[in-house]
Structure 1
Amino acid sequence: EQDRRALSMLLTRELLPSHGQVHIAGQNLSALHQITIASRIGYVGTAPVLFEGLLGDNFNMALLTSPQVPPPDMAAIVESERTGNSTDPLDVPWLDAAAAKVTDSEALQDWWIELITSIGLNDFLLDRAMEQKLLPKRHPELARKLTDLRAEIATEVRGAGLADQVAFFDETTYNPALPVAENLIFAMPLVPVTAQVLIDHPSFALLLDKLDLEDDLLQLAADIVDLLDKIFGVDGTDHPLFRKLGLQPSSFEAALELLPVYRRGAPLSLSQKAQLLAVSLVIPAEKIGPAFPADIMTRVMQMRRAHSATLQETTQDIFVPLSTDAPVEGLSVLEDETIVVPNLAHGLLAARPVAWQGACDRRAVALSLSHDIR
């Protein structure tokens, strides 16, 4: 192992020979520029490291050798040089596709997919990609293709007898896999719904009060906090089952401290109400089970039918409406496809056994691949 490492370091010029010279193709390695060596000799040790950033950035790191276009602001470059900083512009493309003997970044991506498939990593990376959040503005073409596939995937899932494993997004029904806030607005959050978010957007909390939902949601929050306290206690918030609830430990602990105040019937400030509401608004009905009041679902649907437009307008900076004919930011690729298995299928997988969920996943993935969406 030490001999292999020493030879590798010699070839990459991490070490210089103490005697003699190393020649490759008639070239003395000691006389070559490091860029020349780095662009032709790659080294992977026994403990490879991924740098912080995107996986694609790590893949293409060897091709990011220099700026490919002149800097747009020469004054900034001159000032950077004057102060002793780097003169390399960071806001221009650095990817040198020609170094990989391809014409552009799309051709490079196709080559990477071919390579990944040949070494057997395609299934793993595809599974990871399907779980990533979709960013329609960054990937508009992918978003359009996923949206076009929704109806076909929904038909495929139903035809396989898996429809009861997916909570389809339907504007006319309550979705048990979505928390109260998302059901009420029929939208997905752009940021986690925390007490601070509710405090920063008091119009939403005031609207809940105006629609006579606040008291019921506060009572539901108190019941949930009491139940979670009995199950997990204060020290059990790192339990995997607690993490599956989607409730932040800090939100739970803050609500737990407020529970005696609420039970005494003492008036609550806007901040205190927000800390309790943050519990009932983020936990889906299916996570609570039969303890989730059916009348809450009924009233939420009544409020959605009557006030969804107002709610969506009031919360447009923290929620994006769900739509059957448009990609939804905040959902994973698979979720958007399934608006059934969410951006792909446009829906959410219910809390079913992993094997059933995997079957739904595979149906959606197989159909995506048949349309060459990679």
Structure 2
Amino acid sequence: MSDKGGDQAAPEESGSTGEAGSRTPPPARSERLEPGIYRFILRYSLRDQIILTALAGLSFIPYYYFLNLPKLIVNQGIQGQSDGQPIDFPVNILGWATLDQVQYLLMLCLAFVGLVIVQQGFKYVINVYQGISGERMLRRLRYQLYTRILRFPLPTFRRMSQGEIIPIVTQEVEPLGGFIAEAIALPVFQGGMLLTSFIFLMVQNPIMGLAGVALYPLQFWIIPKLQRHVNRLAKERVRNVRRIADRVGETIGGINEAHAHDGAMRLRADFTQYLGKNYWIRFEIYQRKFVIKFINNFMQQLGPFFFYAIGGYLTIKGQMDVGTVIAAVAAQKDMGGPLKELLNFYQRSEDARIKYEQVIAQFEPDGLTSERRQTEEPETIPELKGDIVLRNLTYNDEQDQPILESVSATLPMPSKVALVGGSGRDEMLQVIANLLVPHRGSVSIAGHDLSDLTEAVTGRRIGYVGPVSYIFNDTIAGNMFYGLRHRPLHVVERDSDAESEWHRELREAVASGNSTDDLGADWTDYAAAGAKDPSELQAIAIGVLRMVELEEDVYQFGLRSSADTSAMPDLEPALLEARAKLRERLQAAGYDDLVEAWDPDGYNTNATVAENLLFGAPVTDGFKLDDIGQDPFVLQVLEEVGLRDRFLTAGYEIAATMVELFADLPADHEFFQQFSFISAEDLPDFGKIVSRVSVERLDQLSDAERQMLMNLPFKMIPARHRLGQITEEIQGKILEARKRFAEELPEERRGAIAFFDPDGFTRGASILDNILFGKIAYGQAQAAERVGELITQVVAEADLRDQVTGVGMNMPVGIGGGRLSASQRQRLAVARAVIKRPDLLLLSEPMSALDAGQEERIMGNLFETFGDHGIVWALQRPEQAAKFDHILLIQSGRIVAQGSTEEMQAEDSAFQRYLADR
């Protein structure tokens, strides 16, 4: 079921890039997308369309006999006549059997059922084949659009927002998949059925045949005229929906400003205007579509009028038998379905044509990057260790106003060059990084013209960090190593099932014209970072993190993360040793009271009730501490020890106390932080419960209210929340419940929790919790700081710091790096550029979120590491230029002064005047 025209080579025919034995799809024969949807269909799925057309043609043969059978059943089977003459029963059927009239009737009826099965079988095969072909073509189209996005020149993203682009690739092209599947096969199939029915009618009676299609020319004339207006409205609807998506995206991006400047009401009104416009467009579309539908249905119902009138008249006159009339009426009724499908198909084809043309128009921006620049892998990657020469460099904005104007300069390399001044500095660095294409002029690096270099060269030999660098929704390590992953290099062994699945996916990728590169292979270029294997790369990465002063942050992430000890078998015993040393240090320092250790037979007053009950760490989502009061098994255990009703009462009393205490407090009061089990947002809901139901009438609570109250006691920490609810008696009951919980836990849920073991490692718990094996005592002065210092000491003595940092590198950073601070994101972006050891490092105010002291230290680290490489830095603080070898002063897109640092430091230099005027 593969398509005919894909530009993809079969896997066994494809060239190999690296050891992984797969390759990126070769460039299309034409770098332009097909301008029309039918050209796209014929280019990439001609073979499928031919097969579907052939299947449709074959189905017409049984369909003709299917139309003729009702006539035979009525005339021969029921009336016992053939051509007006009685049939002499019993009859011999091809020497196979002798049948009386009833048996003959049953045979015709079974033949009717058989033809129904054959017809439905053809439809099933055609529909499945259409579905496969359509999905492959939709997958191909989305892949082509996605690769176009990768080739968009950067200024395009200033004109087109995410809100416009994303719906096009995900939603707008979705209907095209269904249309592509039926683009040729459906009109052939339905038109063939219509033609077969017409031929059948003409064979029965030419007058009735002509009567059956008498209104069709009128329909085919009226419908297109009405459809043209619908097409115009459909185009406007698509444009307006994109504008709606753009407004939603802009609102999300500017949500802080909306709140900060009280702009929500205007945004609502603005959005309402767009929704209103969309409403009236759709309203007019509905009106016109229903007019078309009314005309279709009305004309369709006129068909039986002609058949009953003409057929009845001919039957009365003895010129036609009843079976023929019944068969003709059935055939005419069957003609309605294909005709309706053809008219609907015409409407869908017009919608698809418009949608496809609009999509293509959006994905053909000026200045589209050549496919070759992204896919071509040169035999050798040339070094770019040499002077940067800018010749008459001009770059204009969208209004064709110059941002860089006739810039000419030679930046000696390797050296440290500072860019200071006004606008144009970042654009200059982006041009040198091959991210922007100048409108005039040229750039050469180490004698290589930048326009001749592919991204395989510039992306590996040049490191660029801008003022705002994007952090991907991946781990810290995934973001750091992003610049080392260009092509699949090392094959990953799979078991037989996984290998079979991979080959299945590969076949579909080929059939759909998608990438055949193995994402499961190892893409990391260890040599580019100076490593031989993953362990060496991690050591180098930790060194880079120290260089950009991010290692301490990642180390802390690692302490608070759980570790996969299967990948680090030496970690468990080392952590247990660190636990023992921590106990010794606490005792030696007299800090025993700072940590309350976990005791299998004792209650930890510095832990929550939920933690005391489970006495372990949830490994999966099988137990969620925040909602544990709703877990049926937990409630069953509480019932067994007599705590279920006590907890409900305690929950009510806690809620009543909190409502009374917090009633008049502002939402940011420190009490809300201390008693964090009830937030300021939830307090009104608890207030409604307390005001409506008394403690003696808890049976009147709804299920939702009962769950809210049951959750509260589980969040109590006796040492912190001194509300008197978790008494020593209840603590003893909880210890009894802990024992029952562990003993009665269902077998299928045992993998959801790892129980604490004083002598063992707790899977699912953080590294910090495994070392601490307890809770820091609440209310002790500087307890967390003092214990933290001891933990740092024992981790260092056990030589575990790098391993803990390695665990922290596997922490997911969230969408856009949302789990990191702004300064952490900037330092991670610098680390990403540094670890690939580029020949040329371009930095444009990369650490604006850092204080001056930290930026100075990181700058010194980079200078020390890249002493034999080139660095070009657009400075946020011009006074830092004294640390560089060469300075360029840029103002209004022109270089007004340049030279060595000594020359630019002269008293009467333009650079000194610039500093004085700041």
**Fold in common (TM above 0.5):** yes
Aligned match of 2:551: 122
* 1:31 correspondence with 2:452: yes
Aligned match of 1:342: none
Aligned match of 2:517: 88
Say if 1:182 and 1:189, in contact at 8 Å, map to a contact too.
no
Q: Map of 1:58-69 to 2, 5 A cutoff? A: 58-69=479-490
Report the residue type matching 2:477 in the other structure.
G
The structure with more strand, counted as a fraction of residues: 2
Decide which structure has the larger Cα Rg and report it.
2
Say if 1:134 and 1:328, in contact at 8 Å, map to a contact too.
no
Unaligned runs of 5+ in 1: 340-346
* 1:192 correspondence with 2:624: yes
Say if 1:218 and 1:273, in contact at 8 Å, map to a contact too.
yes
CA distance in 1, matches of 2:654, 2:666: 15
> In the TM superposition, what whole-angstrom CA distance separates every residue of 1:88-145 from its partner, at most 9, and x where no partner exists?
3333322221221210111011112223234443333323322234444565543442
Match of 2:761 among 310, 323, 327: 327
CA distance in 2, matches of 1:143, 1:269: 47
Aligned match of 1:224: 654
CA distance in 1, matches of 2:766, 2:674: 17
Say if 2:597 and 2:604, in contact at 8 Å, map to a contact too.
yes
Aligned match of 2:423: 2
Aligned match of 1:265: 697
* 1:300 correspondence with 2:734: yes
Say if 2:637 and 2:740, in contact at 8 Å, map to a contact too.
no
Say if 1:156 and 1:363, in contact at 8 Å, map to a contact too.
yes
CA distance in 1, matches of 2:507, 2:781: 58
> In the TM superposition, what whole-angstrom CA distance separates every residue of 1:198-221 from its partner, at most 9, and x where no partner exists?
54x412212211111112222221
Say if 1:251 and 1:278, in contact at 8 Å, map to a contact too.
no
CA distance in 1, matches of 2:568, 2:685: 39
CA distance in 2, matches of 1:138, 1:237: 45
Q: 1:287 offset after TM fit, Å?
A: 2.7
TM-score, normalization by structure 1: 0.84
Corresponding residue SS for 1:94: strand
Decide whether aligned partners of structure 1 residues 233 and 61 sit closer, same or farther in structure 2, where only a CA change above 3 A counts.
farther
Corresponding residue SS for 1:22: strand
Alignment size in residue pairs:
364
> In the TM superposition, what whole-angstrom CA distance separates every residue of 1:216-263 from its partner, at most 9, and x where no partner exists?
222221222122222335996776653565637587766555444462
Q: 1:79 offset after TM fit, Å?
A: 0.9
Report the residue type matching 2:542 in the other structure.
I
* 1:359 correspondence with 2:786: yes
* 1:215 correspondence with 2:645: yes
Q: 1:61 offset after TM fit, Å?
A: 0.8
Aligned match of 2:799: 372
Aligned match of 1:344: none
Say if 2:754 and 2:763, in contact at 8 Å, map to a contact too.
yes
Decide whether aligned partners of structure 1 residues 153 and 115 sit closer, same or farther in structure 2, where only a CA change above 3 A counts.
same
Aligned match of 1:13: 434
CA distance in 1, matches of 2:745, 2:585: 31
Decide whether aligned partners of structure 1 residues 88 and 229 sit closer, same or farther in structure 2, where only a CA change above 3 A counts.
farther
Say if 1:131 and 1:334, in contact at 8 Å, map to a contact too.
yes
CA distance in 1, matches of 2:678, 2:565: 27
Say if 2:596 and 2:606, in contact at 8 Å, map to a contact too.
yes
Say if 2:562 and 2:763, in contact at 8 Å, map to a contact too.
yes
Say if 1:173 and 1:301, in contact at 8 Å, map to a contact too.
yes
Aligned match of 2:94: none
Report the residue type matching 1:207 in the other structure.
V
Q: Map of 1:150-169 to 2, 5 A cutoff? A: 150-169=579-598
**Which of structures 1 and 2 has the larger relative contact order (alpha carbons within 8 angstroms, sep 6+)?**
1
* 1:289 correspondence with 2:686: no
Say if 1:176 and 1:285, in contact at 8 Å, map to a contact too.
yes
Report the residue type matching 2:442 in the other structure.
Q
CA distance in 2, matches of 1:109, 1:180: 40
Decide whether aligned partners of structure 1 residues 40 and 286 sit closer, same or farther in structure 2, where only a CA change above 3 A counts.
same
CA distance in 2, matches of 1:254, 1:234: 15
Decide whether aligned partners of structure 1 residues 122 and 221 sit closer, same or farther in structure 2, where only a CA change above 3 A counts.
same
CA distance in 2, matches of 1:264, 1:317: 40
Decide whether aligned partners of structure 1 residues 279 and 236 sit closer, same or farther in structure 2, where only a CA change above 3 A counts.
farther
TM-score, normalization by structure 2: 0.37
Q: 1:265 offset after TM fit, Å?
A: 2.5
Unaligned runs of 5+ in 2: 1-421, 493-498, 802-918
Aligned match of 2:710: 277
Decide whether aligned partners of structure 1 residues 308 and 74 sit closer, same or farther in structure 2, where only a CA change above 3 A counts.
closer
Aligned match of 2:251: none
Corresponding residue SS for 1:115: helix
CA distance in 1, matches of 2:696, 2:791: 51
CA distance in 1, matches of 2:723, 2:629: 27
CA distance in 1, matches of 2:688, 2:575: 44
CA distance in 2, matches of 1:137, 1:269: 46
Corresponding residue SS for 2:593: helix
CA distance in 2, matches of 1:301, 1:293: 12
Say if 1:338 and 1:348, in contact at 8 Å, map to a contact too.
yes
